[in-house]
Structure formats: structure tokens, C-alpha cells
Homo-oligomer: A and B are copies of this chain.
Amino acid sequence: MHLKSLRLFMAVVESGSFVAAAKKLNTVQSNVTTHIKKLEEELGVQLIQRAGQVRPTSAGLALVEYAQSMLSTHDKAVALFQNQTKACGHLRIGAMETTTALRLPPILATYHAQYPEVDIHLTTGPTAELAEQLLSGQLDCAFVAGPLKHEHYYGLKAFDEQLVLVGAEPMASMPSVETLTASAFLAFRQGCSYRQRIELLLASHGINASRIFEFGSLDAMLGCVAAGMGYALLPSATVEAHRHRFEVHTLALPAPIAQVDTYFVAAQPNTWTPALERFAATVRESVSATRHSPTAA
């Protein structure tokens, strides 16, 4: 059963004429006859009454319902990919905890306002996990630290974060090696790229094995830092955004360790759904907007 046959069938039913149906679909009457006949053979029933007036038989009328369903589904699918309709369907986004907290809300709000038909699924996790999920097809796109090592993947530098050392007490300069060695560090669970930076930072000071506590949420981490449990390494902007809720102090770090770029990554653009395409556009716009008008970094 070809969709074209169904389309011709519907045209015949609607116009009540083979000739009219042929004209409507830019073909020839003999083709209409052939297609209808083939449909009838395939289903084993006569679908169109030709004698007298041309109209669907009982069986034809029954087929109409199925044909309409199939054709409209087909049209919807085509229209969707042709961007003739508003984006719809699902969009599975992954993001780091810190990105989710600070950068994502305005973007998601803008996107959702413009494409309310899209079901957004937001997954939070460390970079390594997100990358794996993206590669295995469980995510459509993700915000991760650093560009994806994988080639053949789309990457857009979205935000650059400055990591700062966060502690309970004011710091004028880097704490001493003794202090650092004795202190605990608070980080997100395994796979977080910021955690790798902690180890980098410690290594640069000759310290190799400090105690690291794993946290699942940003709030818990900041709360524990404020309570003097230890140090954390977090994006400056994130800490600033939460400063009114937690009494913590920060110390800027040297660029090589401090600078972490957050990338928007996804598969190649030619594999994108319209929903993803529009989301990428929203991200791009948001990025260029904040970059050109340097508001609170």
C-alpha cells in the first residue's frame, strides 16, 4: 500500500471523480484507475463505486478513516522536518550542576516561551557522564566543560567561567601548603571536570592526595563550605549568584587553572530535530548577546 495510492483514493472520494482527482494531484486519469485498483486488489474489497456516481463503498468509507490518519501523520512529519510548523516533540538537554543553576534558566525560559510545544527533559550531571550520554544517544545536546574530544560532533563555546577557590574565611592569597594539605575539598561526584581542576591545583602546589568529599548538589556544597568543612573550586559567577545565601569567601586563581570553558555540544547539525535546531539557535543568540553587552559576567 503506497501513500500515493491513498492520496489518490482520498482525492477520488473528496472530488467524486477520477478525472478531478487526477487533475488535483497533477497526474493522469489512467494512473488514478490503476492505483485505486491496486488498493482494491490488495485489500480484497471494492472501495469505490463507479456505476452511476463515483463514491466510496462501505469498505471505502471504512478505509477513509485509516487513510486520513496515515496521510495526516505523514504530512505532519514532513512539515516538521521542513520547518513548516513550530518545533515540537522532545528535547533532551544535559548540563552541569553549575550551568543549570546559573546559565540555563534564562535560555530555557526564552526557548520555552517561543516553542511551548517542545517537551524539555533536563538531565544534570558531571561532564564525563553527560558526554557519555550524548554519545550513546540518550541526550540530544549538553553543556559540558571544555570541548568534546570527539570529532564529528558539534561544539559551541557558550560561556567561559573563572574558577575561584571558595572557603569559609577571607583569603588574601593562596593558603599555605600545610593548610591545603590539612583541609578537605568539596567537589561534585566523579566525572566533574571542576574536580580535575582541584587535583591540578593541588598538584601545582606539590600536594597529591587530599581528602575530597563528593556532593550531588550545589546548595549542599556551598553550605558545607560556609560551615568551614573545607574548600571548593567553583565558577566565580555561580558563587556570586549564591553569595546572599551563604557566607563564603573567594580567591581568584591563576588563569591556566581558573579558566574553564563551557561548551554547548551536540551531534552534527544535519542530524538535528527542528526542536534541537531552534534550541541551538537560542543558545547562540544568548551567547552573542551576553558577549556583546558585558553585563554581570
On A, residues with C-beta under 8 Å from B are 1-3, 42-47, 49, 51, 55-63, 65-67, 69-70, 73-74, 76-78, 80-82, 89-90, 137, 140, 152, 266-268, 270-273, 275-276
Contact = CB atoms under 8 A, between A and B. Distances in A.
A105 to B, nearest CB: 23
Contacts of A271: 45-47, 49, 57-60
Given A1-B78, A45-B81, A74-B70, A59 B268 contact: no
Nearest to A40: B270
A58 B1 contact: no
Contacts of A1: 3, 74, 77-78
Nearest to A266: B58
A165 B78 CA distance: 67
25 contacts: A1-B3, A1-B78, A2-B3, A43-B78, A45-B270, A45-B271, A46-B268, A49-B267, A49-B271, A51-B152, A55-B137, A56-B137, A57-B137, A57-B272, A61-B273, A62-B89, A62-B90, A62-B275, A63-B81, A66-B77, A66-B80, A69-B73, A70-B70, A70-B73, A70-B74
A46 B271 CA distance: 5
A59 B3 contact: no
Given A57-B271, A63-B77, 13 more contacts: A45-B271, A46-B271, A47-B271, A49-B267, A49-B271, A58-B140, A58-B273, A59-B272, A60-B271, A61-B90, A62-B273, A66-B74, A70-B74
Contacts of A272: 45, 57-59
